[in-house]
Amino acid sequence: MDCDICGKKAKVHLTQLVGGQIKKIALCDDCAKEKGVTDPTGFALAEMLLGKTPGKMVAPVPPVVQGVGRRCPECGFSLDDLRRIRRFGCATCYATFKEEVNQMLRGMHKGSKHCGKVPAGLMELHERTQRLEELRGRLDQAITSENYEEAAGLRDEIRQIETKAPARTTELP
């Protein structure tokens, strides 16, 4: 294996857990010495070597995926703007630039899925949406398999849920 920095033959192999992800680095003797890898008091080597400075959390430059001129339909924010200011224009941007968001989030936080408080009323709404989706799927299946009795039952259940108006709609489009 070659050194990740200069490409010479690697002598030092380093494995470290960074933010729940295993990072492996191979270094030659010279680079290892230069980066202080042989120093037992060194810490967070992977972060240091991978150029991530602990203590300073700066959003990484989002990668170019495709269509640099793409704009958010809600606020007009473009991919160029995102690359320039590394912040978003509005809440809808997160859906518009989903791909870029996923790449930016890599390694930034302890996880990639929200875990914690949900705004009041939203949990019920979320469950309701999921339940409706499930029922509609089963309804389609029932119709395809010409099981009309079950389909009628499902249709009624869907109607019942739909007529109970949701408290509010605060979902991403």
Partner 1 sequence: MMRFTTLIKNPADWMTGEGADSSIVLTSRIRLARNVKGQPFPGWAKKDERRTTLDLLRPAVEALPCMKDAFSQELDDLTSVQKQVLVERHLISREHAARGEGSAAVIERRQSIALMLNEEDHLRMQAIRPGMSLRAAYDSLAAVDEDLEQTLEIAFDHELGYLTTCPTNLGTGLRASSMLHLPALVLSDQIGQVLQAVNKIGLAVRGLYGEGTESLGNLFQISNQSTLGESEETILRRLERVIAQVATHERNARDKLLEDDPEMVSDKIGRAYGVLRHAWIIDSKEALNHLSLLRLGGDLGFLPQETVKSCDALLMDIQPAHLQLHSGRKLTPEERDQIRAEIVRSRLQTLEAPDIRSTRKKNGNDPDPEIL
The footprint of partner 1 (CB under 8 A) covers 19, 43-44, 54-59, 74-75, 77, 81, 85-91, 94, 101, 104-105, 108-122, 126, 168, 170-172
Residue among 94, 37, 16, 23 nearest 62 (CA): 94
CA distances from 145 to 140, 150, 151 (A): 9, 10, 10
Which of 1, 59 has the CB closer to partner 1? 59
Bridge partner list, 16 = 23
Smallest gap from residue 90 Cβ to partner 1 (A): 4
Shortest distance (Å) from residue 30 CB to partner 1? 25
Cα–Cα distance for residue pair 170/60, rounded to 1 Å: 28
Reading the block at residue 2, the tokens are 């070659």
Q: Name which of 13 and 109 has its Cβ closer to partner 1.
A: 109
Backbone angles phi, psi at 161, to 5 degrees: -70, -40
With respect to partner 1, which residue has the nearer C-beta, 84 or 136?
Answer: 84
> Given the complex with partner 1, which of 7 and 20 has the nearer CB atom?
20
Q: How far is the CB of 154 from partner 1 (least distance, A)?
A: 25
Q: Is residue 67 classed exposed, middle or buried when 0-12, 13-18 and 19+ CB atoms within 10 A define those classes? A: exposed
Give Dmax (Cα) for the chain: 75
Shortest Å distance, C-beta 80 to partner 1: 13
3-class DSSP assignment, residue 14: strand
- Nearer to partner 1 by Cβ, of 17 and 149: the residue is 17
Instruction: Give least dist CB 11 to partner 1, A.
Output: 25
